[in-house]
Chain A
Amino acid sequence: MMQEVMRAASDPLLKVENLVVEYVVGQRVVHAVSDVSLQIARGETLGLVGESGCGKSTLGRAVLRLRPVVSGRVIFDGEDLTAMQGEALRKMRRRAQLIFQDPIASLNPRRRIGDIVAEPLVIAGYDDAGRRQQLVYEVLSAVGLDPALVVDRLPHEFSGGQCQRICIARALVLNPEFIICDEPVSALDVSIRAQILNLLEEMKIRFGLTLLFIAHDLAVVKAVSDRVAVMYLGRLCEVGPSEQLFTKPAHPYTELLIEAIPVPDPDVRPAESVAVGEPPSPIAPPSGCRFRTRCPRADQRCRDEVPELRPVAPGQYAACHHPLT
């Protein structure tokens, strides 16, 4: 079964195999990511959605080895990241970058924009200051800022949308192949959000990027992703091509997420209480299917048996004993 999921994307840049990430809090263990496998093809955008605390950010960080992994493997461009140490890991990380949710908090308030964007170059050993400046200017123009007006200013002089442009510039300056965008537009207004999403799409083509796009807003994820993975309480519920996942969701949780999106049309009466309850604690996740405590279709089997990801349509996989399709 796993092999089929693996074959879904040819020529993967990133492969995650049976990844497990846990945190110890006092005496207890938080099951943040439990046995997650996925892959991202070169040039593809994989969307990763789920509610707060479902482990999507932890998964993103663990992929770059920014969180210790309990078990499983992360293969980046054919090399096992989980086995890498020291200089080799550092070199590999230059090819992969991160963009975070809060653009203002992720910029050092005391440093000038020019220095912030040049920092990755300094760390990567670009000794020639002139060359660094040239690269910084190029990348700032690429993200729609005027380098001459921007480099000497401090982050507080910029709006949230502009700060996110600066963060994107910093992520692009080393010309990476892979970027993890962790809720990059959640803190932004609707109008600015559209600008940043369009910019990410443009940059993806221009720099030939592969993206892992993490967000809790399905409409945002759909706007940019080729395929979408839905995560719930540390496990993947469903993976499939964006269009298909939204028109024919197979997992009840995917359906719930879709129904919860507010529709900007006064004739569409919001369905009352589509969403039942809140996710349980990842410290003591429910047995069997982790979604069963909120699922209208749950029965004894869901309690006893962990559902595996199974194909429900070409390219679409769902981990559910009672799929909708």
Chain B
Amino acid sequence: MNDAALLSVEDVAVDLPTPRGNLRAVDRVDLALGAGRTLGIVGESGCGKTMLSRAILQLLPKKARLTGRVMFDGRDLARCSAEGLRKLRARSLAVVFQDPMTSLNPVLTIGTQLTETLLEHLELDASAARKRAVELLAAVGIPEPEQRLTQYPHQFSGGMRQRVAIAIALSCEPKLLIADEPTTALDVTIQAQILDLLAREQRRRHMAMILITHDLGVVAGRTDEVAVMYAGRIVERAPTPVLFKKMHMPYTEALLAAIPKLEAAPHTPLPAISGRPPDPTRPLAGCAFSPRCRYASDRCHSEKPQLAQAEARDHRYACFHPIKLAAGVDA
């Protein structure tokens, strides 16, 4: 682990009791993120990416059990008091969720919701908070911010609501922003705008960011590093350019191949990943991806591959049969 890491997730596991038995949502994950760096976490629904972000934020469901350590800015979050966590989440650890309609309070004006955090945590007075709120709305690209402050969430479009949610998240100058599928509910054109906005504010504030998505296309040009999750584990992790050029994990390859390509002729069959992820209450003995993997051998069905070091620095993968892309790639 990097000493200078702002966030370090050490051997974190999240278990949820369910009527069908224990569900291991996150399975022994290690991660580190330096200040001002961006990390993409990619995987399908149910792969544990949201649970991992909740573990970092200490916002897990009550019945969930967390093991391992989450170190943020020199503190072990699992040992923080409720009050300490509240302060931390307000000041230095912010989050933007997928659905801006449900993450904003429908009966409070945008102004009230924005100034609430400013008054409480930055201890600004009412007029300073209002001024700051206007600046924040302008910074996230909302026209006529003064008038908009008095409006309610339903008077905003989906994209505008997400901008407001981002403004609230940025209001106390956080050190880390977790964006959990921030554009999944939005149109392609609005998605591009929101991703641009996040990237711009991330650079300008030198803030670390975790971008959680199911779409590899979203993380490609916008993150320093990518972690691919499957069935609760990180199965491949690499600096973004390395991941796209020298991926070793068949799951990463399959995820990338399943995206419809604009260059492909119409009616070209898509290389879909057959089947679906395993039932998380019935963990497999071997590699969790083996039933869907075209390279799987007997060993994959019986033994779990651990994260191994690849030839490139900072590139790790969990596979017995890593793919070698294109001839000429050092193997």
Q: How far is the CB of A208 from chain B (nearest CB, A)?
A: 15
Interface string of A79-98 (1 = CB under 8 A from B): 00000000000000000000
Name the B residues within 8 Å of A189 (CB-CB). 44-45, 214
Q: Which residues of B contact A264 (CB under 8 A)?
A: 216-217, 220, 244, 256, 259
Q: At the interface, yes or no: A194 with Cβ under 8 Å from chain B?
A: yes
**Using Cβ atoms and an 8 Å threshold, which residues of chain B touch A243?**
265-266
A268 B220 Cβ-Cβ under 8 A: yes
Q: Which residues of A contact B243 (CB under 8 A)?
A: 266
CA gap between A255 and B177 in the complex, in Å: 32
Q: How many residues of A contact B (CB 8 A)?
A: 48
Interface string of B192-217 (1 = CB under 8 A from A): 11011000000000000000001111
Whether A270 lies near B276 (C-beta < 8 A) is no
Q: In the complex the two chains form, is A51's CB within 8 Å of B189's CB?
A: yes
Q: How many residues of B contact A (CB 8 A)?
A: 48
Question: Is A261 a contact partner of B267 (Cβ separation < 8 A)?
Answer: no
A262 at the interface (CB under 8 A from B): yes
The contact of B241 among A192, A218, A267, A273, by CB within 8 Å, is: A267
B188, A257: Cβ atoms under 8 Å? yes
In-complex Cβ contact of B217 among A257, A262, A274 (8 A): A262
With contact pairs A190-B259, A195-B274, A275-B190 given, residues A201 and B269 touching in the complex (Cβ less than 8 Å): yes
In the complex, whether B272 has a CB less than 8 A from a CB of chain A is: yes
Q: A226 with B266: in contact, given A189-B214, A263-B220 (CB under 8 Å)?
A: yes
Q: Are A223 and B258 in contact (CB under 8 A)?
A: no
Asked, given contacts A264-B256, A266-B240, A270-B195, whether A194 binds B189 with beta carbons under 8 Å apart, the answer is no
Q: What is the bound-complex CA distance between A160 and B44, given in angstroms? A: 12
- Check A31 for interface membership: any CB of B closer than 8 A: no
Which of A191, A201, A269 is within 8 Å of B254, CB to CB? Answer: A191
Interface centre among B160, B217, B264 (most CB of A within 10 A): B217
Closest chain-A Cβ to B163's Cβ sits at a distance in Å of: 10
When distances are taken between beta carbons in the complex, the residues of chain A under 8 Å from B221 are 262-263, 265-266, 268-270
Chain B residues near A226 (CB-CB < 8 A): 266-267
Find chain A residues with CB under 8 A from B244 CB: 264-266
Tell me whether A270 and B222 are in contact in the complex, defined as CB-CB below 8 angstroms, given that A193-B258, A219-B260 are known contacts: yes
> Residues of B at under 8 Å CB distance from A?
44-45, 157-160, 187-193, 195-196, 214-218, 220-222, 240-241, 243-245, 254-256, 258-262, 264-274, 276
A-B contact pairs, 8 of them (CB 8 A): A52-B158, A190-B258, A192-B44, A194-B272, A198-B270, A261-B188, A262-B191, A265-B244
- Interface contacts beyond A189-B214, A192-B276, A263-B220: sample of 17 additional A-B pairs, CB < 8 Å, sorted by A: A161-B276, A194-B260, A195-B272, A197-B272, A219-B262, A223-B267, A226-B266, A226-B267, A246-B262, A262-B191, A262-B221, A266-B221, A270-B222, A273-B192, A274-B192, A275-B193, A278-B157
